[in-house]
């Protein structure tokens, strides 16, 4: 098995199928894009929401108990929260 095949096999176990992830993520994104305030959001907020949609789709189609999914959601939310703030 090639290195890429091994990676894809392992990812499928943790995240579920790529096709399922794509379907769930795109459904979530369509809802977000339909919101009245979507076009007024900062690009960083939009990107954070896209990444959170991907993480949600992985939770829904893969292993919900995989800690990285939840930590990544927290991280993207924090990045979005800090946009424009000085440290």
The mean per-residue pLDDT over the stretch 12-29 comes to: 95
Rounded distance between C-alpha atoms, residue 82 and residue 27, angstroms: 27
At a CB cut-off of 8 Å and minimum separation 6, what does 17 contact? Answer: 61
> pTM, whole model, 2 decimals?
0.89
Confidence of residue 87 (pLDDT cuts 50, 70, 90): low
The mean per-residue pLDDT over the stretch 39-60 comes to: 97
Arithmetic mean of pLDDT over the chain: 94
């Amino acid at each position: 098995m090639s290195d890429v095949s091994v990676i894809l096999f392992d990812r499928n176990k943790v995240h579920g199928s790529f096709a399922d992830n794509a379907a769930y993520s795109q459904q979530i994104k369509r809802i977000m894009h339909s919101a009245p305030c979507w076009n007024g959001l900062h690009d960083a907020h939009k990107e954070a929401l896209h990444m959170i949609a991907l993480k949600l789709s992985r939770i829904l189609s893969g292993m919900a108990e995989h800690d990285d999914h939840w930590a990544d959601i927290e991280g993207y939310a924090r990045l979005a929260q800090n946009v424009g703030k000085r440290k």
